[in-house]
Structures are given as C-alpha cells and as structure tokens.
Structure 1
Amino acid sequence: MNLTPYAALPASLLDELRAAALDPDRIYFDIVTALHEDLPAEAVDTTSVATISADATGQADFNAREEGVVAGLGVAALVFHVVMGDTVTITDRVADGTHVTPGARVMRVSGPTRGLLTAERTALNYASHLSGVATATSHWVAALDGTRAKVLDTRKTLPNWRALQKYAVRCGGGVNHRFGLADMAMVKDNHVIAAGGVVPALEAVRAAFPGLPVEVEVTDLDQLRELLDAGCDRILLDNMDSATMVEAVRITADRASLEASGGLTLERAREVAETGVDFISVGALTHSVIVFDLGMDLSDT
C-alpha cells in the first residue's frame, strides 16, 4: 500500500490538529502504524480488490448511531488522506465536541471506492473511541452542572493514546489533570510512606523542584489539617465518604483546592459534587470507555 507522505498532507488539517494541542507528526506515525496492522508491507486489501474495480469512485457518510458527543473526526479525516492523498474529498465534517443524535451525519468522504473501504476501519477506530471518551465525559459534566466541581481525567490512559484521549476529554467538557510525571508532582500514599508523612513529602518536593505544582493525597482529616498548616494549595481526598468530604471542605475554607478521587461512579457524581469539592477525578473516562457507535455507510448511487 502506497501511503501519502507527511509533506503532501493538507496543511489546513495539520494546522487544525496543532491548534487542538495535538502533534500531527506523531498522529501521522501512529496512523501509518495502524494501517500497517491491516496491510503490512506489500499486502493488498483482498476483498476490495476482488469486488471493486480500480477506477470506481464512491461517496460514504459517517453517521452517528446513538446520541453523544463526537471527537476525533479530524484524525479520521487524516486517515483517509494518508490512504488516498488528494484523491479524497471530505465535506460536512462537524466540529469535534458537537452533540449529535442518532442518524446525524458527522462527515462525508468521497473518492476511490477501494481507498474508502481500506481506510474505513482505522478511521472508525479513532473516531469511535475518541467519541466514546468525549461522550462519557459529557455525562459527568451534565451530572455536575450547577455545582463548583469539574471532572478531571487521569493518567489511566491507553499506552500511546494519552494526548488523543485527553483531547477527547476536553471535547466532552472535562478538564485535563497532569499529562505526565514531570509537569506536576502528585504525592500519593506510597510517597507519603517513603517520605515519612504528608508534610515531609510536600517539603521534599518543594525543595527539589521549587515552583513546580504539587498535589498531595490524604486519607483522613488529620493529614488534611497538617497540609493546610503547611500551605499546600492542592489536596486529593482519597476514598472518603461524602460526610467526611463535607467536613474536609468546611475545614479547608477555600485555602486549597480539593479533589475527590477513588472508585467514584456516575451515579454518585452529584452527591460528591454537592460536598463542595473543586474537582472529581475519574480514571474510567479513559481506561474503561465504551466506544461510540459510528458507522460508515457507502452510497449505492
């Protein structure tokens, strides 16, 4: 399969990805790798070659088959350009972050029919998964509406998909937590044990990396009080019940931002938000997401 070189891809599409804080070079590499899973080396799409003439052209619609929020359509569009170069035309693409209903067309793709079907699954894999993340996030955002709490993602992402999954969280209305281990210190229970307490751990981070944002996990209100006295301005409340979180909010009195974490479910989201915490972190946004049902329907005209 002869794939389109990076330099020949539409500049406007690459600029769009950059504007979304995504790296088009990395996405191109990942798309090529994904396509090679289907067609390694000199392999051909046997079904399409056998059933479709080389000069056939067609038109296909990406349609939503359920209600939700779409994301990753720009990446899906890039898949078609990588497979088909400038022989493909993409129209009617809705913006990522758009709420759609069943039957809505979210993108139309026209070009050589063989190319459309060769690119179909890879394009759908990206758009369906990322739309699933965006849709799941939107459900949490809706559950928290009217409270001060915002939903956060975590580092519990699929390997090599972190930037895309965190982008999809933003499309769904959520907020990104730290991207990696270097851009923010997050002191968790094992760090606390190793350092000899929450305050020694906090002070160790401050000494080693002055100015670096730091968040410290607590499991009880005594640890919370210690950190507040030490001037910690971001504290994670780990696996606390709602009554304890209410008391944590009262004790904190806006001296620090509070994040609730630990086995939280959508059914409990409103209850937790109404304790007055600032953030609710949800690993399931990315590690347990259900893909959004998108389909590509080839026109028979």
Structure 2
Amino acid sequence: MLVALPDLMLEPIVRATLLEDLGRAGDITTDAIVPAGHRTRLQLVARQEGIVAGLDLARIAFRLMDAGTLMEVHRPDGGRVVPGTAIATLEGPTRGLLTAERTALNLLCRLSGIATATAGLVAAVAGHRAQIVCTRKTTPGLRAVEKYAVRAGGGGNHRFGLDDAILIKDNHVAIAGGIQPAVERARQHAGHMVKIEVEVDTLDQLRAAMALGVDAVLLDNMAPAMLAEGVAIVGGRAITEASGRITADTAPAIAAAGVDLISCGWITHSAPILDIGFDYAA
C-alpha cells in the first residue's frame, strides 16, 4: 500500500517552487484579468496513459495560494489513467487556481512521469523475483518526492542518502588498495544497524567480497549470463543488485538471471513527464 508523505515534508518544496514563480510582483497577468472574488472549477486531466503521482504537492500549491480552494481527487496516486481521464477537480477563487497552476503541474507531471517509467520496468520484470529500485540520481531538492513517485509506480528505493548504508564503489576500492582493506575500514566505522554493499565489475571481485561476508553486492554492467553466474556464487548469502543502463527491453533477461534488485538511475533523472492538463470545467 502506498503511504502518503506528510504535508510537513512537502510544503517547503511547494513554497520554494511557488516563490520562484511569483518573483517580485506576483502573477501580474491573472491579477490584471481576473476580478478579485471570482470563483471557478477546473480539472486536472490526463493527456497520456500512465500512473499518477504528486497530487498532494498539487493540493498544497493550490491551497497555499488560497486556503478556500477545494480539491476532489478522482484518481489517487498510484492509479492508472488514459487520455481524457479526470484526475482531480479543483474549485475555488480563480486567481489562486491560475497562479498555482504551473507549480502544481510541474510537480505533478514530473512525479507522474517517474511513476509511469517505473511501472513500465516493473511490468517488464513481472514473474521474476527482482524488484525495480531507484538510486540517488535525483533532482536536487526533490529526492524524497521523486523516490515516493517510484513507490507509486510499484518500485522500491535504494539509499536515500550517503548516511543510509555503506556502498563501496570502484574509487573507494582503488584508494583503499583493494576490496579487503576497504571493507575492513568500513566495518570499523559502521554502526550495528548499517549494512555494507560492495560494487563489483568481475566475478573475481565478487568472490573477494563474498569472502568478507558483505551484506549486498552491486553487480555492475554485467551481461545476463555473467549475472546468473554471479548469483550462483553468492548463493543467497547476500542481496544481489544489478545495475548499468537497464531499460524495459533489457530488464527481463537481467531479472531472469535471478538477481534480487535492479537499480535504475534514469527513472528519476531522465524520465519524461506525464502530460497532464488543467482544463476549465464550467
């Protein structure tokens, strides 16, 4: 079940985005054209097929501009839409609705695009054990909500930040002088709740990591046959994660290799938006 993020986390993001748009003088177009006190109804309408995410951000944007705005949701976050689907209806002071429109749509379209991209990968690996997860390759300032959008699309989350877990990558190994000294130093600093993952490019590196009893291994840019051999070497003693330019076309074969996780950076840093309109509903 998708759990909503608290408004306390979302409001600072929306406030910063609104302030960026309002500039120094506010919405001079709407203020000039729309009489004060005018009220209207508008709908958020899907123009493409996909998965919705980010409705709470949109709601906060509209209500920050005018607390008298009412929002009725027809398709909640995580719901699938097709072109023409009414996602939500907004009713309230027209000035507030029009001024918040772009902020609401920017966030809603962005997160819905991430959810849609994630759902495509999830569908591609259906029937296998592998879970699609995102990475730290997120838009600065939007990590929490972009990772929420991945969950709305049926995926899971990798680390939220550098303090979640220890992930020893190639540069760490090179500077430490090998996998063993890198893992040993990491263990000296890790708390009892902190897991250690090691990125490997070869099966020899994988064997070295497994000999040290690490919690997880990131099998980087390995072909499916090599991944399957790697999974066999691990033998269930650690979490196996595949990564490296994975698409909906390549994901099924990677999942069939038996890995536990498939991590994809592009679902957060390069997913196209889901086109959603804000239409007058007289």
TM-score (norm 1): 0.89
Q: Say what the alpha-carbon RMSD is for the aligned residues.
A: 1.5
Match of residue 273, structure 2, among 280, 291, 297: 291
| Partner residue in 2 for 1:129 | 110
How far apart are 1:46 and its partner, in Å?
2.2
Aligned to 1:35: 18
Task: Tell me the distance in 2 between the aligned counterparts of 1:143 and 1:172.
Answer: 13
Q: 1:252 corresponds to which residue?
A: 234
AA aligned to 2:8 is: D
Shift of 1:148: 0.7
**How far off is 1:24 after superposition?**
2.8
CA distance in 2 between counterparts of 1:105 and 1:199 reads 56
Shift in Å, 1:204? 1.3
Matched, 1:104 2:85: yes
Report SS of the residue matched to 1:267.
coil
Pairs within 5 Å for 1:254-273? 254-273=236-255
1:247 and 1:119 map into 2 onto residues whose CA distance is 53
CA distance in 1, matches of 2:74, 2:171: 47
Measure, in 2, the Cα distance between the counterparts of 1:217 and 1:74: 36
Shift, 1:250, TM fit? 1.6
Conserved 8 A contact 2:13-2:142 = no
Counterpart CA distance in 1 for 2:13 and 2:261 is 32
> How far does residue 84 in structure 1 lie from its aligned partner after superposition?
0.6
Unaligned runs of 5+ in 1: 1-16
Report the Cα offset of residue 100 of structure 1. Answer: 1.3
Instruction: Say which SS state the counterpart of residue 61 (structure 1) adopts.
Output: strand
Which is further off, 242-251 or 71-80?
A: 242-251
Structure 2: segments with no counterpart, 5+ residues: none
Q: Which of residues 185, 191, 202 is equivalent to 1:220?
A: 202
Q: Partners in 1 of 2:73 and 2:209 — Cα distance?
A: 52
2-side partners of 1:58 and 1:24: how far apart?
25
Partner of 1:186: 167
Cα contact 1:73–1:93 (8 A) shared by 2: no
The 3-state SS of whatever aligns with 2:43 is strand
Distance 1:125 1:207 in 2: 44
Matched, 1:139 2:145: no
Q: Which of 18, 25, 42 lines up with 2:8 in the alignment?
A: 25
Using the alignment, how far apart are the partners of 1:215 and 1:144 within structure 2? 23
Q: Distance in 2 between matches of 1:227 and 1:45?
A: 58
CA distance, structure 2, for counterparts of residue 23 and residue 108 of structure 1: 22
> Which segments of structure 1 move beyond 3 Å, counting only runs of 4 or more?
none
Which residue number corresponds to residue 7 of structure 1? none
Are 2:116 and 2:153, in contact at CA under 8 Å, matched by a contact in 1? yes
Task: Please state whether the residue corresponding to 2:197 is helix, strand or coil.
Answer: strand
Give the paired residue count. Answer: 280
Please list, as runs of the form range in 1=range in 2, the aligned pairs for 1:152-231 lying within 5 A after superposition.
152-211=133-192, 212-231=194-213
TM-score w.r.t. the length of structure 2 is: 0.95
Q: Pick one of 83, 97, 105 that aligns with 1:116.
A: 97
C-alpha separation between the residues in 1 aligned to 2:65 and 2:191?
48
Q: C-alpha distance in 1, partners of 2:77/2:237?
A: 36
Residue 239 (str. 1) matches residue 239 (str. 2): no
Instruction: Show the counterpart of 1:150.
Output: 131
Report the Cα offset of residue 23 of structure 1: 5.1
Bigger CA drift: 262-271 or 134-143?
A: 262-271
**Cα separation, 1, equivalents of 2:267 and 2:6:** 22
AA in 2 matched with 1:77: R
Q: CA deviation at 1:199?
A: 2.1
Counterpart residue identity of residue 34, structure 1? T
**Counterparts of 1:97 and 1:39, CA distance in 2:** 30
Identity %: 46
